[in-house]
Amino acid sequence: NLPPVIAIDGPTASGKGTVASLVAQKLGFHYLDSGALYRLVALGCQKHGLDPKNGPEIAELAKKLVISFKNGQVFLNLEDVTEAIRSESMGLLASQIAVHPEVRQALVSIQHGFRTTPGLVADGRDMASVIFPDASLKVFLTATPSARAERRHKQLIAKGISAKLPDLLQDLQERDARDSSRGTAPLFMTDGAKLLETSELSIDQAVKAVLDWYQGSL
Ligand code: C5P
């Protein structure tokens, strides 16, 4: 009898991280940001000067990395890398190293480790299809590319980071294409998943939709 999982998958900058962590908070569940794991491996890869195309070498590194999460902060080998992993360039590098099956395999057990009582909300690309196929609720959360680029733009500006909307839109589309077309664990809406289109929804409305579906599934 494993604890329940709510799996929330979707493209980059769809708002799934914000929605997933709020749903976790409301239910008192644990939260897994699986994208952060790929970003951490990307950062490790960069620090060690590894070739992003060398899957086996990156997988070996991934197995050795000491990864921890505490109070919304992310640590790599005890160094606080919360900010460092959030850059656009690290997102792009993450999507490059995430194409390798060996790298994905190296991250399976750490993801399963997050499933503890009373339950877990997990967000990513393959939460429903690969990592937690028995999830109680599967949500595919998305928004139009322009809505997502605008959200990302606002976030960056709020952090004082300058960014151009057309560049962000191009980055998003490049990552969408790579994440959806790769051979292993591509981003797609699995059977039995509920579609949540958030372009016209507030964060509260999106959170409520997920909570209502979850209550309805009990
Ligand atoms: O969600 P986030 O933008 O932080 O993810 C960064 C990259 O990591 C994605 O573009 C994707 O290529 C990869 N990723 C993945 N599988 C996951 C989560 C993220 O391949 N479950």
Q: Distance, CA 11 to ligand 1 centroid (Å)? A: 8
Q: Is 101 annotated as a binding residue?
A: no
Asked if 132 and 115 touch (Cβ cutoff 8 Å), the reply is yes
Tell me the CATH class for 5-217.
Answer: alpha beta
**Measured from the CB, is residue 35 less than 6 Å from ligand 1?**
yes
Q: How many helices (H) and strands (E) does the chain have?
A: 9, 8
Q: If you ran DSSP here, which 8-state letter would residue 185 be given?
A: S
**Measured from the CB, is residue 114 less than 6 Å from ligand 1?**
no
Helix (H) or strand (E) holding 211: helix 203-217
Q: Walk across the sheet containing 194-197 and list its strands.
A: 30-33, 120-124, 5-9, 137-142, 194-197
The CA distance from 125 to 175, in Å, is: 12
Q: pLDDT above 70 covers what percent of the chain?
A: 100
Within 8 A by CB and 6+ apart from 91, the residues are: 12, 39, 171, 175
Q: Distance, CA 98 to ligand 1 centroid (Å)? A: 7
pTM of the full structure: 0.94
ipTM surpasses cut 0.95:
yes
pLDDT digits (tens, 9 = 90+) for 160-209: 888 899 999 999 999 899 889 988 888 889 999 999 999 999 999 999 99
**Measured from the CB, is residue 175 less than 6 Å from ligand 1?**
yes
